[in-house]
Amino acid sequence: MEMPPVGILERAALNAMPAPRQALCGSAVVRAGHGGAGRVNSATWLDPEDEADLPARVQRIEGWYARFGLPPRFRLTPLSPAALEPVLMARGYGRTGETIVMVGALDGLPLPDGPAETAEAPDQAWFDTTEGAAGRSAERMAELGLLPALLLVPAAWVSVRVEGRVASVACVAADGAVAVLSGVATLPVMRGRGLARRACLASFGWARSEGARVACLQVEADNDAALSLYRRLGFREAYRYVYRVRM
């Protein structure tokens, strides 16, 4: 499988997780929600050559976040200008949240080994499971609640039930040939039974039906269990990113 360019993956990921507020500052996409998810509440550059007036632009972005009482956060990817990180360091920003972006081909993946429900919008059971499984903050849950109304690209919410209870969930969006998987979570008492794998495979099957040929996902670098699952499904690392936040 030929690895899609970083720019295509970054744009697909932004489309799959829209923010309630968004503005452009040159090639930087500045997004703000309720202060929950990093991708929804950070500035991401899409052009490594876009480094004019970086100190002034960083200060301007800081002011945007201050208007809403949110801490400024900058997401550094391979598309960030090389000069951006030193500017942030000089302003007291530390590194956090190292994340791996993985990519895999959808063709050839097996069918789920059991039933999984796919819906056009999440129901309360989906929300209850993602909150209980991942321990999400109230701010993150508020952002998830807005997601169905904000999405422009096709998306699906996947639920795996055990004895009538939703035990594992996932969300997937299809941006043309690229699908973006997110929100994979399993209730602690239900882990180790292959339910997350089933939710992923159901998500990928839906994405194939929408015309996607590859999928990408983002996983924290220290999440060994998730990394092992995705590697077994044929996913491999494309690149990494980190956040810079004021310490």
Q: What is the pLDDT of residues 42-65, one digit of tens each?
A: 999 999 999 999 999 999 999 999
Residues 76 and 152 in one domain: no
Range 136-165 average pLDDT? 96
Residue 247 lies in a domain: no
Range 159-180 average pLDDT? 97
Range 179-205 average pLDDT? 97
- Which residues partner with 237 through β-bridges? 102
Residues 228 and 150 in one domain: yes
Residues 95 and 107 in one domain: no
- Structure pTM? 0.96
Residues 108 and 88 in one domain: no
Residues 91 and 107 in one domain: no
- CA dist 195 and 130 (Å) reads 14
- Do the strands 178-186 and 214-220 form a parallel or antiparallel pair, or are they unpaired? parallel
Residues 89 and 149 in one domain: no
User: Is residue 169 a contact partner of residue 199, using CB atoms and an 8 Å limit?
Assistant: yes
Residues 188 and 174 in one domain: yes
Range 86-107 average pLDDT? 97
Q: 192: which residues sit within 8 A by CB, 6+ positions away?
A: none
HEC letters along 173-204? EEECCEEEEEEEEECHHHCCCCHHHHHHHHHH
Please check the confidence at residue 1 and state whether its pLDDT lies above 80.
no
Give CA 39 to chain center in angstroms.
6
Q: How many domains, in total, are found in the chain?
A: 2
| pLDDT value for 135 | 87
Residues 186 and 229 in one domain: yes
